[in-house]
Amino acid sequence: MNNVISKLDDSYKILDNQDLSKYTTYKVGGIAKYIIYPASIDKLVELVKLLRENNIKFKVMGNGSNLIFSSKEYDGVIIKLNNLNNVTIEDNIVTVEAGYPAIKLALETANMGLSGLEFASGIPGAIGGLTYMNAGAYLSEMSKIVDEVTVLDKDNNVITLKNKDMNFSYRSSICKEKEYIVLKVKLILEHGNKDSILALIEDRKRRRIESQPLEYPSAGSVFRNPEGLFSGKLIEDLGLKGYSIGGATVSKKHANFIINENNASGEDIRNLILYIKQRVKEKYGIDLIIEQEFVNWE
Ligand SMILES: Cc1cc2nc3c(=O)[nH]c(=O)nc-3n(C[C@H](O)[C@H](O)[C@H](O)COP(=O)(O)OP(=O)(O)OC[C@H]3O[C@@H](n4cnc5c(N)ncnc54)[C@H](O)[C@@H]3O)c2cc1C
């Protein structure tokens, strides 16, 4: 791998032996052999082609806000998209590269009197990550505002998909099914009243602060809500609020959040998730579905 990486030109920012706990919102993970920041979409495409040709394992990361890494070394390349951050806004059409932070974009468009991204104003991911998994909140989600998505497919072709071809479903899209890499997204927003859009964002922020343990590292909701039920309520009714394994704890504020309270490892979080799943299955016969993604466990 080292000889392949050393061929990359100076436009790439390359870091080696990085502690992944600095790059994930749960603050867990082992050492990544390399973290590479491409400077542009073209450079990202070039990098992915090179890694694929040389059979080097890689993982694209937005803001690491939905990931649970094990403590093992990641013997490959983490591709960070922070430099894919161009955005153009013309009338109500937003064209934005995958690395752009969703909260920033939600606030910027709100300030321009554009409505549609309010739901994302509390989601700490990048636009590519939100699109890949059709992130959502408050009965809205990416699928409602995406017009088209430019992706890199597994054969290294850059293709543009219209909304109807994205196979959006609950927290999923064709990108997840076919391992497409999101490069750029075109969103269609609606003109609205700036003050009421900002007021809605403010109200939701207040509700999140009241109901979610935002003062601790986490990755948002752990489990999907089963049809007609709330995972948080099921977990709370089992008396598991405050229950810990190692440094990972079921939040006392919101039972569907696990927090890294005391130097937790990915293993602590995983064990706690599996324990909750087992208890819920025993008591209610329900198989909770995990929303967060385990990386580097095989
Ligand atoms: C406090 C808090 C609150 C949250 N609230 C919500 C919420 O209300 N609703 C919600 O849906 N989620 C929520 N989340 C979870 C998380 O923020 C979202 O799932 C978000 O979409 C993840 O984006 P990311 O950029 O951090 O992706 P990452 O965690 O970095 O990656 C997640 C997956 O997406 C893939 N990926 C990332 N970028 C790309 C790309 N450009 N192309 C292809 N694949 C890519 C990664 O490989 C990985 O498989 C919350 C998290 C936290 C910490």
Report the C-alpha gap between 220 and 260 in whole angstroms.
12
Q: Is residue 136 within 6 Å of ligand 1 at its C-beta?
A: yes
Counting residues of the chain whose pLDDT is more than 90, the rounded percentage is: 98
DSSP structure string for 139-204: TEEGGGTEEEEEEE-TTS-EEEEEGGGS--BTTB-HHHHHTPEEEEEEEE-EE--HHHHHHHHHHH
> What is the rounded average pLDDT of the residues 229-238?
97
Instruction: Measure Cα distances from 85 to 82, 113, 237, 245 in Å.
Output: 6, 21, 43, 38
Distance between Cα 6 and ligand 1 center (Å): 30
Using pLDDT thresholds of 50, 70 and 90, give the confidence band for residue 147: very high
Beta bridge partners of 18: 32
Look at 205 and 298; give whichever has higher pLDDT.
Answer: 205
pLDDT of 163 reads 98
Q: Is residue 99 within 6 Å of ligand 1 at its C-beta?
A: no
pLDDT of 153 reads 97
Distance between Cα 3 and ligand 1 center (Å): 32
Whether the per-residue pLDDT at 39 is higher than 90: the answer is yes
Per-residue pLDDT tens for 165-178?
Answer: 999 999 999 999 99
**Mean pLDDT, rounded, of the chain:** 97
> What is the rounded average pLDDT of the residues 50-63?
97
> What is the rounded average pLDDT of the residues 48-55?
97
Nearest to 119 by CA among 208, 195, 27: 208
Per-residue pLDDT tens for 106-118?
Answer: 999 999 999 999 9
pLDDT of 298 reads 83
CB within 8 Å of 17: residues ≥ 6 apart: 31, 32, 33
Using pLDDT thresholds of 50, 70 and 90, give the confidence band for residue 260: very high
Residue ranges of domains in the chain, CATH in brackets: 2-80 (3.30.43.10), 87-210 (3.30.465.10), 213-295 (3.90.78.10)
Active site residue 172: no
Active site residue 90: no
Whether the per-residue pLDDT at 131 is higher than 90: the answer is yes
Per-residue pLDDT tens for 237-256?
Answer: 999 999 999 999 999 999 99
